[in-house]
Structure 1
Amino acid sequence: MLPLVAIVLALVVGVIVLESVSYRALDRIPSVATEEFPEIDRELLGKFSSFDPELGWCPQPNREKQKDTGDHLPGEEVRSVVTYSTDEYASRVCPARDRDEDAALTVSTYGDSYCFCREVDNDETFQHYLAQELDTHVANYGGGNYGLDQALMRLERQYPDDPTDHVFMVVTASSIARILSVWKHYQEFGNILAVKPRYVLEDGDLERVDSPVDEKEGLLDLESKADFLREHDFHYDHWFEPHFASRPYATDFLEKNEHVRYAAYTAGKELERRLGRSVPGIDFDLAQTQSALRLERPRVRYHERLFDTHEFLFDALIEEFVDYADEQGFEPTFVMVQQLRYATYESEHGPIYGDLLDRLDDRYDDLTTIDMATHLSPEDGDVESLYVERGEGGHYSPETNAEIAEVLAEVVAERAIAE
C-alpha cells in the first residue's frame, strides 16, 4: 500500500512540476500568449517616455538614448551600444547635414522602425547616407512598431511644421497587421504598453477609431477597457485566442518540438549569464534567434492571408497618403522594406504582399513605389547578411542602409529630370 501511495504522490508532484516548468517556458516563448491582461506596474509605466495620447506613442524631441543591442556574449566587452538622438522636431538627428530653411531641396521620411533605423547609430541610418548623396538634410520621423496608419497620422500632424519637397513612406509588410490593431499585445504578445488608434472603412471612407487611452495612467487599468479592445482589434479573435495557452500547459508546451528547443536555448543563455562566460560548442544567442524565426513562420503566413482579406484597407491608407501629397504639394514615394522574418520566408515563397506595388503603380500616376527587396538581393542568396548580425536582430545593417540611400537618391534625381 505504501509503495502505491508513494508512486501516486510522486506522479502528482511530477505533474505539478511539469505544469510549472511548462508555464514558465511558455511565458518566455514569443509565439505563445499566457495572459490576456499582464500586470503593468508603475515602474514599467515610468519607463514609457514616448507615450502620446494621439498616436499611442511617438519619439520625443531633444532626447538621446543609448541602447545595448545585445551584440556580445556574457563576459565580453559590450561592442554594440547604439545612440538614438532626436532634434527639436522629434526627428532622429541627421549628422550629415543640418536643417536649412533656404535649401533648394528638402526631404522627409515617415514609417516604422525600419524608417527610424533601429539598431544602428545616428550616422549609420539611410537618412544620413541619403543626406550625403543629396547634400541636404533628411528628416527621420520613423516610429518603432508603427503601422502605415500611425505613420500617416504622424505625417499629417508633423508636416505643417516641417514641410518638404519629397516624402518617403517606409514600412514593412507587417503594416497589414498593425493597421488592424488597437492593442499590440493581441498580436505581438507581451507588447502591453502599445495601445493605439486605427482606421476602419465606413461606406468606403476612412473613419478614425481613437485610442481608448488618452492619459498614460489609463494603461494601468486596461482590463476595464476589455470590451473596446476586443471589439476593435481584429487580432483578438483571429490570432490571440488561437495562441492563448491554457491548462494543461504541458500539452501546449510539448506539442511543438520548436517550443522545447527555444526553451533549451533560452536556458543556455541564462546559464551563460550566471556563469559570466560562454559555454563552448554552441552559440545559444544565434540558436535562439534562429528558433524564434522558425516560430515566426505561422505569423508570416497569417500576415500573408491578411493581404488577401484586408488589402482594401491598406489601399485606402495609400490613397490617403497620395491625396495628402496632392493637397500639400509634395512628391510621395511608398517604400516597402523587409523584416528578416519576411526576407527568409519570401526568398522561398515570394512576397507576402503579392502584386500590391504593381496595383499601386497602375492606380496612382503621382505615386512612386519601391519594392526594396528587388534592390537588395545578395548574389549568394544570403538574405540574413543584409541585417545586423546579432542583438535584437532583423533591422538593416549600416551597409544595407547605404544601399537604400542610393536607391532613394535615384528617385529624387529621376523626378528632378522629369520636372
Structure 2
Amino acid sequence: MLPFVALVVGVLAVVIVLEVASYTSLKRIPSVATEEFPEIDRELLDKFSSYDPELGWCPQPNREKQKDTGDHLPGEEVRSVVTYSTDEYASRVCPAKDRDANADVTVSTYGDSYCFCREVDNDETFQHYLAQELDTHVGNYGGGNYGLDQALMRLERKYPEDQTDYVFMVVTASSIARILSVWKHYQEFGNILAVKPRYTMENGALERIESPVDEKEDLLDLESKADFLRTHDFHYDHWFKPHHATFPYASDFLDDAEKIRYALYEAGIEFEKRTGKPIPGIDFDEAQTQSALRMEQPRVRYHERLFDTHETLFDALISEFVDYGDEQEFTPVFVMVQQLRYAKYESEHGPIYGDLMDRLDDRYDDLETIDMARHLDPDDGVESLYVERGEGGHYSPETNREIANVLAEVVDEDR
C-alpha cells in the first residue's frame, strides 16, 4: 500500500509542478491569454498618465520622456535611449521648424505609433525630415495603439486649434482590428488599461459607442463592466476565447513547440539579466523576437480576414475623413504603413488589405492615398527597414527619411 501511495503522491507532485511551470510560462507568452480580468492595482493606474476620458488615452502636452529601447545586452552600456517630447498642443515636437501662421503650406499628421514614430528620437521622425523638405512645421498627433477610429476622433477634436492645409492619416493594417475593439486586452493580451470608444455601422451610418470608462478610477473594476465589454468588443468571441488558456495548462503549453521555444529563450534572457553576463553563441533577444513573430502569424491572417468581413466599416471611417477634409478645407491624405509582422507576411502573400488602396483611389476624387509598401523595397529584406531591437519593430531613422521624401512629393505636386 505504501509504495502505491508514494507513487500517487509522486505523480501528483509532478503534475502540480508541470501545471505551475506551464501556467508561469504561458503568462509570459504574448499570444496567450491566461486571465480575462488581470488585476489593475493603484500603482499601475497612477502610471497611466495618458488617460483621456474621451479617447481612452492620448499624448499629453508639454511632456518629455526618455525610453530605453533595449538595444543592448545584459552588462553592456545602454546605447539607445530615445527621447519623446510633446509641445503645448500635445503634438510631438518638430525640431526642424517652429509653427508659423504665415507659412506657405502647413501640414499635420495623425495616426498610430508609426505616425508618432516610436523608438526614434524627436529629430529622427519622418515629420522632422518632412519639415526640412518642405521648410514648414509638421504636427505629429500620432497615438500609440490608435486605430483609424481614434485617430479620426483626435483629428476632429484637435484640428480646430491647429488647422493645416494637408492632413496625413498614417496607420498600419492593424487598424482593421483596432476599430473593432473596446478593450484592447481582448485582442492584445495584457494591454489592460486601454479601454476606448469605437464606431459601429447602423442602418448604413456610423454610430459611436462611447467608452464605458468615465473616470480613470473605473479601470480598477473593469469586471463590473464585463457584459458591456464582451458585447461591444468584436474580439471577445472571435480572438480572446479561442486563445484563452485554461486548466489543465500543460496541454496548452506542451502541445505547441513554438511556445516551448519562446519560454526557453525567455529563460535565457532572465539568466543573462540575473548574472549580468551574456551567454556566448546565441542572441536570446533576437531568437525570442523571431519566435514571437512566428506566433504572430495567426493574428496577421485573422486581420486579413477582417478586411474581408468589415470592409464597410473601414470604408465608412475613410469617408468620414474625406468629408471632414471637405468641411474644413484641407487636403486629406491616407497613408498605409507596415508593421514588421505584416511586412514579412506580405512579402510572401501580398497585402492583407487586398485592393483597399485601389478601391479608395477609385471612390474618392478628393483623397490622396499612399501605400508605403510600394515605395519601400529594400534589397536586403524588409527587416532592414526597422530598428534592430526594442519594442516591436518601428521604422528606423533612415526609413523615416525615405517616408518623408514620399510624403513631400504629394505636397510638392500641388505647389
TM-score range, shorter chain: over 0.9
Which amino acid is 2:97 matched to? R
Report if the CA contact (8 A) 1:87-1:93 is conserved.
yes
Report if the CA contact (8 A) 1:254-1:260 is conserved.
yes
Which amino acid is 2:88 matched to? E
2:382 aligns with 383
1:409 aligns with 408
Question: Could you give the per-residue CA deviations for residues 319-340 of structure 1, whole angstroms, max 9, x where no partner exists?
Answer: 0000000000000000000000
2:219 aligns with 219
Please list, as runs of the form range in 1=range in 2, the aligned pairs for 1:169-318 lying within 5 A after superposition. 169-318=169-318
* Count of aligned pairs: 415
Give the whole-Å Cα distance in 2 for the aligned partners of 1:337 and 1:255. Answer: 35
Secondary structure at the counterpart of residue 108 of structure 2: strand
1:76 aligns with 76
2:106 aligns with 106
Report if the CA contact (8 A) 1:180-1:235 is conserved.
yes
Give the whole-Å Cα distance in 2 for the aligned partners of 1:316 and 1:393. Answer: 29
Instruction: Report % sequence identity.
Output: 82
Please list, as runs of the form range in 1=range in 2, the aligned pairs for 1:7-22 lying within 5 A after superposition. 7-22=7-22
Question: Could you give the per-residue CA deviations for residues 135-170 of structure 1, whole angstroms, max 9, x where no partner exists?
Answer: 000000000000000000000000000000000000
Deviation at 1:3, TM superposition (A): 2.5
Deviation at 1:55, TM superposition (A): 0.2
Give the whole-Å Cα distance in 2 for the aligned partners of 1:119 and 1:166. Answer: 25
Deviation at 1:351, TM superposition (A): 0.3
Secondary structure at the counterpart of residue 377 of structure 2: coil
Give the whole-Å Cα distance in 2 for the aligned partners of 1:151 and 1:393. Answer: 21
2:319 aligns with 319
Report if the CA contact (8 A) 1:199-1:209 is conserved.
yes
Question: Could you give the per-residue CA deviations for residues 240-261 of structure 1, whole angstroms, max 9, x where no partner exists?
Answer: 0000000100000011100000
Give the whole-Å Cα distance in 2 for the aligned partners of 1:311 and 1:188. Answer: 21
Question: Could you give the per-residue CA deviations for residues 205-247 of structure 1, whole angstroms, max 9, x where no partner exists?
Answer: 1110000001100000000000000000000000000000001
Give the whole-Å Cα distance in 2 for the aligned partners of 1:188 and 1:318. Answer: 24
Deviation at 1:179, TM superposition (A): 0.1
Question: Could you give the per-residue CA deviations for residues 261-295 of structure 1, whole angstroms, max 9, x where no partner exists?
Answer: 00000010000000111111110000000000000
The CA RMSD measured in Å over matched residues stands at: 0.6
2:125 aligns with 125
Runs of 4+ in 1 over 6 A off after TM superposition: none
2:161 aligns with 161
Could you state the TM-score of these two structures normalised by the residue count of structure 1? 0.98
Secondary structure at the counterpart of residue 6 of structure 1: helix
1:358 aligns with 358
Give the whole-Å Cα distance in 2 for the aligned partners of 1:198 and 1:291. Answer: 32
Give the whole-Å Cα distance in 1 for the aligned partners of 2:326 and 2:206. Answer: 18
Give the whole-Å Cα distance in 2 for the aligned partners of 1:221 and 1:167. Answer: 38
Give the whole-Å Cα distance in 2 for the aligned partners of 1:254 and 1:415. Answer: 59
Deviation at 1:4, TM superposition (A): 2.5
Give the whole-Å Cα distance in 2 for the aligned partners of 1:409 and 1:37. Answer: 45
1:392 aligns with 391
Deviation at 1:101, TM superposition (A): 1.3
2:369 aligns with 369
Deviation at 1:7, TM superposition (A): 1.8
Report if the CA contact (8 A) 1:171-1:335 is conserved.
yes
Give the whole-Å Cα distance in 2 for the aligned partners of 1:226 and 1:4. Answer: 46
Report if the CA contact (8 A) 1:387-1:393 is conserved.
no
Could you state the TM-score of these two structures normalised by the residue count of structure 2? 0.99
